[in-house]
Amino acid sequence: MRKTLNHHELNINYQEGKLDDDFYISVLEDPYSVRNLYYRDNLGEPYSAIESALKILDDNSPDIFKLNVRLLENPHSIINASIFTSSQFSGNIDYFASSVLNLSFSASVKILSHANNFNALYEYIHNNEADKISKGFLFAFTFCAIKKAVEFDPFHFIKNIPSIDEKEKIFVENIFRANKKNKEYKLKKSIKSKLKIALFVSGQVRSDLSIHENLPGMLVGDDDNQVDLFFSSWRKKGVSKISEAKSPRFFTKEARDLVADNLGGMQNLNLDYFNSLLFERINRLDIDEVESSFSFCENKFINIDDESCPPFSEMSNPEKMYYHNSSWVNKLGEDYFSEYDLVIKIRPDIELKSFSPQKVLDKISDFEFMTDYKGEWIYKIWGLGVGDQVLMSSPNVMTGLLGMYSLSRQDAFSKKLLVDLKQPPYSGHVNLAIRALELGYKPIENHCFSIALHDGYKFSKEDVSYYLRDRALLDVK
């Protein structure tokens, strides 16, 4: 039977002395342990819950070298050891290193997403000559080294990677040159009494646009700043298919609890029924809704595409997101935005809070941008430390980041690189991170604003209760 990694139950099991050898063997050998930790057992919980679960597991782990586990036999066992018993992994890096250096890009990202793992591998690489290294590890480690601003020369690795081609060598060289150059350059800023702000709102609309009703007070403010809107989306609202992993987006906690009490969990609910119901209840986006929600903007540029027509009908949701991020930059050109003091990009389902434009300008230097992540370790599994919910910077940085997608440049190197690393060509935040590294733009921690994610339509406890009663599944005891 699979061992749960829910942080509440882990704490109870710890108190009752149930975190024994058999428990750790199960966790280390299960190829789905990482997925279960993030997307099943702690579904809907804040990230702090996952950190709590990992601390319990690491602090109480037995000697993993005395367990009946072949730690180096499978990539998932190495990944599990690095994540669930991180102290022992980093403390015995000589044992694991040669195997880790040959892992895929995605496996390397999972390991390097934990600071002590990166630090241990960084020390190992500086003190040892690698006989063989995978291209996937090279790129994952290179990205991480730049984010952490540590000294690292990847070029002595390249001779040990037979599969690397000349373009990829040039890419590694260019991102190091760009980051070194930009690290040495600081822009002198002047404080203006009135700012000109370009507000990009792009991506899929999942919620009522009235969530942005507080923007005028923060963006226009007492200084009477000029705000221009650049909106780009598609007509279909928040109708990504409901899955067990995404259920917190579509069901209230009370609704999920009712399902758990009567069916044993969301995996036993007929999600096809609720997917059909969702399509019936969601309205399509129109230009009047956008104009009324952003009436405070002096100039409004609004693009709403029909996702049922080519080329959009052939795009995945992440690809459509990047297309719409780029839409107005590609239509108007980068020079058009040079007269703005600050460029802000938010997703339509993100409510921006506690924000001052001048405070952001005071914090960032040229070649830096502020993202929605707050914390010391800005290298996470889902996006190499670059979030796409909110981005802010000067026009030269933002047009470089937002303009990364063009229908006329389908052979963009970042897309090819991801395919070579056996990743989808559009992988959410990862594309943005690669683009930032390619240009030498550095994400900095957010201490200037807070955000709230509005998931859009959610099924209530009453919706689920009706479904269960209609099918005689409701436990009325």
Q: What pLDDT score does 411 carry? A: 42
* Amino acid letter for position 104: S
In this structure, the answer to whether residues 106 and 227 fall within a common structural domain is no
Residue 260 lies in a domain: no
pTM: 0.72
Residue 335, Cα to own-chain centre: how many angstroms? 29
For the chain, the domain total comes to 2
Q: Is residue 456 within 8 Å of 236, Cβ to Cβ?
A: no
Residue 422 lies in a domain: yes
Q: What pLDDT score does 440 carry? A: 78
Task: Please state, in angstroms and rounded to a whole number, the distance separating the CA atoms of residues 76 and 31.
Answer: 5
Full strand arrangement of the beta sheet holding 196-202: 299-305, 226-234, 196-202, 342-346, 390-393, 368-371, 442-444
Domain with 130 in it: 7-183
Which among 407, 392, 230, 388 has a CA at the least distance from the CA of 302? 230
Q: What DSSP state is assigned to residue 364?
A: P
Task: Please state, in angstroms and rounded to a whole number, the distance separating the CA atoms of residues 47 and 358.
Answer: 30
Q: Is residue 24 within 8 Å of 67, Cβ to Cβ?
A: yes
What is the CB neighbour count within 10 angstroms for residue 383?
21
* Amino acid letter for position 129: E
In this structure, the answer to whether residues 231 and 170 fall within a common structural domain is no
Task: Please give the angle made by the CA atoms of 344, 346 and 352, to the nearest 5 degrees.
Answer: 95
What tens digit of pLDDT does each residue of 6-39 get?
A: 888 888 888 888 899 999 999 999 999 988 887 7
Below-50 pLDDT ranges, the chain: 188, 375-379, 381-382, 410-411, 476-477
Radius of gyration of the chain (CA): 24
In this structure, the answer to whether residues 146 and 207 fall within a common structural domain is no
Q: What pLDDT score does 29 carry? A: 93
Residue 437 lies in a domain: yes
Q: What pLDDT score does 338 carry? A: 94
Residue 188 lies in a domain: no
Residue 466 lies in a domain: no
In this structure, the answer to whether residues 305 and 430 fall within a common structural domain is yes
Please identify which residue in the block is written with the tokens 């060509």.
425
In this structure, the answer to whether residues 163 and 226 fall within a common structural domain is no
CATH code, domain with 324: 3.90.550
In this structure, the answer to whether residues 155 and 209 fall within a common structural domain is no
Encoded tokens for 454: 């509005």
Task: Please state, in angstroms and rounded to a whole number, the distance separating the CA atoms of residues 70 and 277.
Answer: 47
In this structure, the answer to whether residues 137 and 18 fall within a common structural domain is yes
In this structure, the answer to whether residues 96 and 233 fall within a common structural domain is no
Query: What sign results for the dihedral spanned by CA atoms 406, 379, 172, 423?
Result: negative
In this structure, the answer to whether residues 295 and 439 fall within a common structural domain is yes
Question: Of all helices (H) and strands (E), which one includes residue 303?
Answer: strand 299-305
In this structure, the answer to whether residues 168 and 223 fall within a common structural domain is no
Contacts of 233 (CB under 8 A, 6+ apart): 201, 202, 203, 204, 205, 285, 303, 304, 305, 324, 348
Residue 263 lies in a domain: no
Residue 156 lies in a domain: yes
* Amino acid letter for position 10: L
Q: What pLDDT score does 110 carry? A: 85
In this structure, the answer to whether residues 176 and 205 fall within a common structural domain is no
In this structure, the answer to whether residues 166 and 202 fall within a common structural domain is no
Residue 441 lies in a domain: yes
